[in-house]
Amino acid sequence: MSRAFNFSAGPAMLPEAVMRKADSEFLDWNQTGMSVMEMSHRSKEYMAVATKMEADLRDIMAIPDNYKVLFIHGGASMQFGAIPLNLCEQGDTVDYFNTGVWSTKAIKEAARFANVNVVAGGQEANPTEIPTQSEWSFSEDAKYIHICSNETITGLEFQEDQLEAIFAQGKPVIADMSSNIMCREIDVSKYAMIYAGAQKNIGPSGLAVVIVRDDLLGSAREACPTLLNWETYANNESMFNTPATFAWYLAGLVFEWIKEIGGVKAIAEINQRKAQKLYDFIDASDFYSNKIKDSERSWMNVTFDLKNSELDTAFLEASKAAGLLSLKGHRAFGGMRASIYNAMPEAGIDALIEFMQQFADQHG
Ligand code: PMP
């Protein structure tokens, strides 16, 4: 059996070493005679898995002690509504950046529960740059500021100086890091709450990781459903009801893998090199192009167009035949997208570049 290089935006490729380990202990985990997915979440054995997983994530991301780490079913989208329900009352003002489709979805949901001020953006569905700071308009009484730190569809990522300017507002900053969590080192203490759907850099879909500062807990509004209230998860080790046990276990294997290869610092170096290589190739080519502002290009989602879009179908068919999967861009943005999360080996980038070169040579 051979594994292809899968460039899917999510669910995405997981590290081969992780998949092999899960495979090897699928039927009999740790000589218990059962699969980890058949085990009570309250058993001593499973609790050990859960405890280690959280400890490893805390270690990898250097999460300070005054932050809770919650594992919540429902993916990242469920947090779009949970955020205002936990942090403000109906009629309160909240600040949102609109840098693309995922921001727009978060805004739409938040607007049901709060008065959303769009700090900047939103004029176009798929902007190719972050609005310049002179256009930002914060509201004085906002309860928090929300960003999508990496827009997965376009591959547009907030940069350090922009983030610093946002932190400087002195408000709780909430970040949707679904598509760039653990791709580089970050200072968690600058954020009030970070959330991410698991299916890109963490593990199987359906699970969200929520990292939230202690003092934000306990103020959910009265009407907030129990299972949307972060405090419920914080007070019950994310086991108020039955958690997504297999997804947790697999995420735990991914965290172990990250530690083994040197942590997020080591991964970040590889990620930067992978992304740079691909962008350099695209920029040097007159057959392919990328629309995103140079300095705001994502390390995780590399979008590109063929100069002649009539060749798109042929490109997708040939790339698939070459074992390079899921390169079709999101229908909202068109073109191609190579999602190159932590688990994508550098060899996958080399193979993609080689294929793109050959395709250009044949059709240019
Ligand atoms: N935010 C971002 C940035 C995403 O890329 C995605 C999924 N592609 C989501 C939120 C939604 O995640 P989920 O499907 O887990 O709800």
Q: For the domain that residue 179 is a member of, what is the CATH number? A: 3.40.640.10
How many A from CA of 255 to the centre of ligand 1? Answer: 20
- Are 139 and 255 within one domain? yes
Query: How far is residue 123 CA from its own chain's centroid?
Result: 24
In a domain, 205, yes or no: yes
Predicted confidence (pLDDT) at residue 1 exceeds the cutoff of 80? no
Which of 152, 154, 202 to probe ligand 1 with, by most ligand atoms within 8 A of CB?
152
**163 plus 233 within the same structural domain:** yes
- For residue 152, which atom of ligand 1 is closest to its CA? 5
Q: In this structure, is residue 18 part of a structural domain?
A: no
Sequence letter at residue 23: D
Spatial CB neighbours of 164, under 8 Å, sequence gap ≥ 6? none
The answer to the question of residue 158 being in a domain is: yes
**Contact yes or no for 60/256 (Cβ under 8 A):** no
15 lies in a domain?
no
Q: Which of 188, 120, 132, 136 is nearest to 159 (CA)?
A: 132
> 209, 242, 260 — which closes off a domain?
260
Q: Which residues pair with 148 in a beta bridge?
A: 176
The per-residue pLDDT for 27 is: 97
Q: Are residues 160 and 281 in the same domain?
A: no
Residue 11 lies in a domain: no
Task: For residues 192 and 233, state if they share a domain.
Answer: yes
Residue 2: predicted pLDDT: 80
Backbone angles phi, psi at 148, to 5 degrees: -105, 105
Give the distance (Å) from ligand 1 centre to CA of residue 209: 12
Average pLDDT of span 229-258:
98
Q: How confident is the model at residue 364 (pLDDT cuts 50, 70, 90)?
A: confident
CA 217 – ligand 1 centroid, Å: 23
Residue 129 has what pLDDT? 98
On whether both 244 and 299 belong to a single domain, the answer is no
Q: Which atom of ligand 1 is nearest to the CA of 10?
A: 8
Write down which residue in 211, 236, 260 finishes a domain. Answer: 260
Whether residues 105 and 205 share a domain: the answer is: yes
Write out pLDDT tens, residues 293-333.
999 999 999 999 999 999 999 999 999 999 999 999 999 99
Same domain flag for 238 and 345: no
pLDDT class of 86 with cuts at 50, 70, 90: very high
CA 119 and chain centroid, separation: 22
Q: What is the pLDDT of residues 5-64, one digit of tens each?
A: 999 999 999 999 999 999 999 999 999 999 999 999 999 999 999 999 999 999 999 999
Report the percentage of the chain scoring pLDDT > 90.
99
3-state secondary structure the chain: CCCCEECCCCCCCCCHHHHHHHHHCCCCHHHCCCCHHHCCCCCHHHHHHHHHHHHHHHHHHCCCCCEEEEEEECHHHHHHHHHHHHHCCCCCEEEEEECCHHHHHHHHHHCCCCEEEEEEECCCCCCCCCCCHHHCCCCCCCCCEEEECEECCCCEECCHHHHHHHHCCCCCEEEECCCCCCCCCCCHHHCCEEEEECCCCCCCCCEEEEEEEHHHCCCCCCCCCHHHCHHHHHHCCCCCCCCCHHHHHHHHHHHHHHHHCCHHHHHHHHHHHHHHHHHHHHHHCCCEECCCCHHHECCCEEEEEECCHHHHHHHHHHHHHCCEECCECCCCCCCEEEECCCCCCHHHHHHHHHHHHHHHHHHC
Active site residues: 102, 176, 200
For the chain, the domain total comes to 2
Residue 228: its pLDDT value, please?
A: 98
Q: Which residues constitute the domain of residue 275?
A: 263-363
Are residues 323 and 179 part of one domain?
A: no
Q: Are residues 271 and 342 located together in one domain of the fold?
A: yes
Q: Residue with the nearest Cα to atom 4 of ligand 1? A: 178
The predicted pLDDT at position 70 comes to: 98
Kindly state the average pLDDT of the residues 87-101. Answer: 98
Q: Which two tokens stand for residue 165?
A: 């300017």
Average pLDDT over residues 118-138: 96
pLDDT of residue 283: 98
Whole-number Å distance between alpha carbons of 162 and 26: 44
Identity (one letter) of the amino acid at 180? N
295 CB-contact burial (10 Å; exposed 0-12 / middle 13-18 / buried 19+): exposed
Q: Looking at ligand 1, which atom is closest to the CA of residue 198?
A: 15
Verify that 201 and 272 share a domain, yes or no.
no
- Please, which contacts does 264-270 make with residues 24 or more away whose CB atoms are closer than 8 Å? 264/60, 264/61, 264/182, 264/183, 264/184, 264/185, 265/185, 267/182, 267/183, 267/184, 267/342, 268/183, 268/184, 268/185, 270/346
Tell me the CATH number at 322.
3.90.1150.10
Q: Which residues contact 213 (CB under 8 A, 6 or more apart)?
A: 66, 67, 172, 191, 192, 193
Beta carbon of 152 within 6 Å of any ligand 1 atom: yes
Mean pLDDT throughout 78-105?
A: 98
Atom of ligand 1 nearest to the CA of 150: 3
Q: Is residue 296 part of a domain?
A: yes
Domain boundary among 244, 260, 276: 260
333 belongs to a structural domain: yes
Residue 206 pLDDT more than 70? yes
How far apart CA 349 and CA 300 sit, in angstroms, is 12
Tokens representing 122 are 């939103």
Give me 187's structure tokens.
């200072």
Distance 24 CA to ligand 1 centre (A): 30
| Residue 79 and residue 222 in one domain | yes
| Domain membership flag for residue 294 | yes
Q: Say yes or no to pLDDT of 200 above 90.
A: yes
pLDDT surpassing 80 at residue 255: yes
Q: Give the pTM.
A: 0.98
Instruction: In whole angstroms, give the CA distance from residue 179 to residue 41.
Output: 28
Could you tell me if 34 and 140 lie in one domain?
yes
Mean pLDDT of the chain: 97
Give the pLDDT score at 303.
98
